Amino acid sequence: MKEIKIEGLGAVQETLIIPLAMRAIDAADRRPILGDRRAEELYRRVSYDREKFAPRRSPSYYGCLQRARYIDAELVRYAQQLEAEGRDFVLVNAGCGLDTREQRIAAKTFGAAHYAVDFPEVIALRRGLLGDEERALGCDLLEAGWVEQLAAEVGEHCWVLVAIEGVFAYLTREQIQRVLQLLETYFAGRCVVVFDALSSFWAGRTKMHDTLGKMEARFTGGIDSEADIVALVPRAHFDRKVAVMDLMAEVWWPAKLMKLHKPSRYSTQIFTFTL
């Protein structure tokens, strides 16, 4: 099968190789955390500059896997709730990169449609790897085109469950506000969004990160609490949050010590809001 090169995507876009590689390593493990076999298959088909990133079992490895597992579970939980209430819903992987979330949770989401959204060049890459097996929207998340198209396709009563994973760390607060406001504008009262956000303490410390040191992408904004989100989108309803370090401590013992340091414990959190 033809090998696909990941080049010319842009600084932030090229970071999509990081979670794919980590999920692939995990899938090959005898005791996987996430067990994403499709990621392992895709990773074998791509090539990239390994001088910039060589996958290893770093702290980010455990954080990436536990983050994905938690967000999967959140989406499934809401899908089960909406299904029990007899409501229509779709799922959206916004800023999807090469994530295979649909393949991981489709069997648990009652046949609901899954949409993948990312820059057009990333979607083209996905299509080269996945073919036409998914609904994909090629658009910058900061532009209204993807929510307009999604709204037109799903109708005015359909709930929208949105995952935004590994994206907001690269956006300013104003840009995060823009994405959430777009969702609120088009799906007010029927949108659940699950996203991770980097703290303001770590936002300016990209060079200290164990996987981004040689990459061009840089962290920008920072979110420290649900109050920061409500300040950006006042009508957003906070549902829950979890520190990624707490999730890491479930599978990696050093995290139990790392979480004793408050800035480390809350370096990244995952929030669930209803818009």
Q: What are the structural domain ranges in the chain?
A: 4-274
Is 47's pLDDT higher than 80?
Answer: no
For the stretch 135-186, pLDDT in tens is 999 999 999 999 999 999 999 999 999 999 999 988 999 999 999 999 999 9
- Other Cβ atoms within 10 Å of 121 Cβ, number: 13
Higher pLDDT, 36 or 210: 36
- Please tell me the CATH code under which domain 4-274 is placed: 3.40.50.150
User: For residue 129, what pLDDT band results from cuts at 50, 70 and 90?
Assistant: confident
Our CA dihedral for 266, 214, 101, 159, rounded to 10 degrees, sits at 60
Round to whole Å and give the CA distance between 110 and 79. 8
Give the DSSP letter string of 46-114: EE--TTT------HHHHHHHHHHHHHHHHHHHHHHHHHHTT--EEEEEET-TT--HHHHHGGGTTT--E
Mean pLDDT of 56-81: 94
Taking alpha carbons only, the member of 274, 270, 272 closest to residue 64 is 270
Strands 237-243 and 191-198: unpaired
Question: What is the rounded average pLDDT for all residues in the chain?
Answer: 89
Round to whole Å and give the CA distance between 74 and 272. 8
User: For residue 207, what pLDDT band results from cuts at 50, 70 and 90?
Assistant: very low
Q: How long is the chain?
A: 275
Round to whole Å and give the CA distance between 223 and 196. 9
Is 130's pLDDT higher than 70?
Answer: yes
Round to whole Å and give the CA distance between 95 and 98. 9
